[in-house]
Chain A
Amino acid sequence: METLRQILSPDFLLRNSVYTSVLIGFACPLVGVFLVLRRLIFMGVALPQISSTGVAVALSLPLWLGMDMSGHDSQNAHVLAFAGSIAFTLMAILVLAFLERRGRGLPEGRLGTAYVVAAALSILLLSKNRYAELGWLDLMKGEIITVSNFDLTLTAIALALVLVVLGLFHKELMLVSFDRTLAVTLRKNVVFWDALTYLLIGFTVSMAVLSVGPLISFGFLLIPPLTAHLFARTMRQFTIFASLIGGVASFIGFWIAYQWDLPIGPTDVVLLGIIYALSFVVKKLAFLFQSKSKR
């Protein structure tokens, strides 16, 4: 409990890391819900990886241009990394969505190729960048330790924006995801609403990757919605449960990691996996119990 008191203290040294982690935990499942419902889980794996390659490319640019990066301030680096992340993510989403709409070829094959090439490219860039040790190797591993006030503010604003857009246009985003034909007959601009859905996913993934790395981003995009889906009866429940599971797990994960000196991101993901497994067992037991009662 002493650790918990420390974490909750306003003077806690890593408080920005806690806030960032919890923000990502709450926000990622909100767009993850659409990835799961649209059966785009593979896209959820590939996008964070592509996004992190964007970060790697953006941070390698000054090196390639012969600029000295040793004295640059973290705000510029963060903005540069965000630009790289969002550019790569949106470009990948546009290309993948376009190919998806054409309906030709093997979508899983395309996503798998994008994932593995992006991962390999990140490793290559890291191996040739002497600033890798300055922090973004930690980012790739999911170490959420050095989060500045600027980083935290940027993350909070971006995720609040995502939340507002999702809240305002949930009805339209749900309609085009569930029944495109109905959306067309109701004269909705399905291309615009599809684009907005992908934009929200891309934006959230970029922010999450920049804050917690690709592995953890994927974990928070996927596992909370899958867990919530076991129990949710309505879309409202599905969205709220997923977000709550993500937010609470990220806080408890941070607590466990701090208590036992573990890397935060991987601890969060393993915790989410345990919650999912336990929920699955509880659901099965409840089903068996109900079946027996009926007999």
Chain B
Amino acid sequence: MSEPVITLDGLAIGYDGRAVLSGISLAIARSSFTAILGANGSGKSTLLKTLLGLQPPVAGRIHFGSPPVFGYVPQTVELDPLFPLTGFDVALMGTYGRVGPGRFPPHAERQLVHDCLRATAADGFAHKKFSRLSGGQKQRVLIARALATRPDVLVLDEPTAGVDAAATHNLLEFISQIHAERKLTILLVTHDLPLVRKHAQQIVWLHQGQVLHGTVAELFTPERMAEIFEMELG
């Protein structure tokens, strides 16, 4: 395994000092494709928020090799359609981490955004209002925005939620492609087991207060699946 980009050491996550999940110890390897799985309320979003620094851990520590730049792709429902922003405006926000207060994004940064939109095949509709785009189109713009941050780790929070089957397939193929081409570390939160089986290398499965961690081959065996789903049914 290559050097870890993120290491969780005895981490407990939760709200107001109360742990939802505890004893999380695992390492995310650089350039790996990791899927975070779990039922609703299992703590996926809490884990993601803790990793991104949106909320402090209840206990334990998160170590970063060197502080990584996160390219975050939120769920599209989290973004208010009231804002009159074009796809390009939204993608341009990815450069704001490098453009200081009181400055406008220079030509080079705008060019980078155009390149990212082209890479995600979103350049054709980037001039349209973001709120009027389809679910799949919005995800492509948001991935372009995440790429425009020049990320070390691409974090995608249920990118296929509300996206139809064909678009879901295309989107995951595309994420796999940029993972392979750019050697990006990818953290993908999803419910979709078949897609995870096809694309991810590592799995973090949050299940009834436990964290199961391993490769796809280790976790997706009939015995382990039966064990997990029996626990879930129980």
Residues of A within 8 A of B (CB): 36-37, 39, 168-169, 171-172, 175, 177-179, 181-182, 184-188, 229, 232-235, 237-238
Question: Chain A contacts of B94 at CB under 8 A?
Answer: 182
Q: How far is the CB of A169 from chain B (nearest CB, A)?
A: 6
Q: How far is the CB of A104 from chain B (nearest CB, A)?
A: 11
Q: Give complex CA distance A295, B86 in Å.
A: 27
Q: Are B85 and A234 in contact (CB under 8 A)?
A: yes
Q: Give complex CA distance A179, B52 in Å.
A: 14
Q: Give complex CA distance A6, B225 in Å.
A: 84
Q: Are A184 and B53 in contact (CB under 8 A)?
A: yes
Contact A182 to B93, CB < 8 A, known contacts A39-B80, A169-B102: yes
Q: Give complex CA distance A232, B78 in Å.
A: 22
Q: Give complex CA distance A234, B84 in Å.
A: 5
Contact A169 to B101, CB < 8 A, known contacts A36-B82, A181-B52, A234-B84: yes
Q: Are A178 and B83 in contact (CB under 8 A)?
A: yes
Q: Give complex CA distance A184, B86 in Å.
A: 22
If over half of A's interface residues share one DSSP class (helix, strand or loop), that class is named, otherwise mixed; here it is: helix
Q: Can you list 26 A-B contacts with CB-CB less than 8 angstroms, sorted by A residue number?
A: A36-B82, A37-B82, A37-B83, A168-B101, A171-B105, A175-B96, A178-B85, A178-B90, A178-B93, A179-B74, A179-B78, A181-B74, A184-B53, A184-B54, A185-B72, A185-B149, A186-B97, A188-B96, A229-B82, A229-B84, A232-B84, A233-B84, A234-B84, A234-B86, A235-B83, A235-B89
Q: Give complex CA distance A35, B38 in Å.
A: 37
Partner of A185, one of B52, B104, B105: B52
B129 at interface by CB-CB < 8 Å: yes
Question: Chain A contacts of B93 at CB under 8 A?
Answer: 175, 178-179, 182
Contact A235 to B84, CB < 8 A, known contacts A185-B52, A185-B53, A186-B96: yes
Q: Are B54 and A233 in contact (CB under 8 A)?
A: no
Most buried by B among A169, A184, A186, A232: A186
Q: Are B80 and A178 in contact (CB under 8 A)?
A: yes
Contact A171 to B82, CB < 8 A, known contacts A182-B74, A234-B89: no
Q: Give complex CA distance A158, B168 in Å.
A: 51
Q: How far is the CB of B196 from chain A (nearest CB, A)?
A: 23
If over half of B's interface residues share one DSSP class (helix, strand or loop), that class is named, otherwise mixed; here it is: loop
Q: Are A238 and B84 in contact (CB under 8 A)?
A: yes
Q: Give complex CA distance A36, B94 in Å.
A: 24
Q: Are A233 and B52 in contact (CB under 8 A)?
A: no
Q: Give complex CA distance A249, B172 in Å.
A: 51
CB closest chain-A residue, reference B88: A234
Question: Chain B contacts of A185 at CB under 8 A?
Answer: 52-53, 70, 72, 149
B79 at interface by CB-CB < 8 Å: yes
Summed over the interface, the residue pairs from A and B with CB atoms below 8 Å come to a total of 70
Residues of B within 8 A of A (CB): 52-54, 70, 72, 74, 78-80, 82-86, 89-90, 93-94, 96-97, 99, 101-102, 104-105, 129, 145, 149
Question: Chain B contacts of A168 at CB under 8 A?
Answer: 101-102
List 20 other contacts, CB 8 Å, given A178-B85, A188-B96, A234-B86.
Answer: A36-B82, A37-B80, A37-B82, A39-B82, A168-B102, A169-B102, A171-B101, A171-B105, A175-B93, A178-B80, A178-B93, A179-B74, A179-B79, A184-B52, A184-B53, A184-B54, A185-B149, A186-B149, A235-B84, A237-B84
Q: Are B96 and A171 in contact (CB under 8 A)?
A: yes
Q: Give complex CA distance A186, B74 in Å.
A: 14
Question: Chain B contacts of A184 at CB under 8 A?
Answer: 52-54
Q: Are A172 and B79 in contact (CB under 8 A)?
A: no
Q: Give complex CA distance A73, B179 in Å.
A: 71
Question: Chain B contacts of A235 at CB under 8 A?
Answer: 83-85, 89
Question: Chain A contacts of B90 at CB under 8 A?
Answer: 178
Q: Give complex CA distance A182, B78 in Å.
A: 11
Q: How far is the CB of A146 from chain B (nearest CB, A)?
A: 38
Q: How far is the CB of B218 from chain A (nearest CB, A)?
A: 30
Q: How far is the CB of B16 from chain A (nearest CB, A)?
A: 11
Q: Give complex CA distance A169, B96 in Å.
A: 11
CB closest chain-B residue, reference A189: B101
CB closest chain-B residue, reference A187: B97
Q: How far is the CB of B139 from chain A (nearest CB, A)?
A: 14
Q: How far is the CB of A185 from chain B (nearest CB, A)?
A: 4
Q: How far is the CB of B7 from chain A (nearest CB, A)?
A: 19
Question: Chain B contacts of A186 at CB under 8 A?
Answer: 96-97, 149
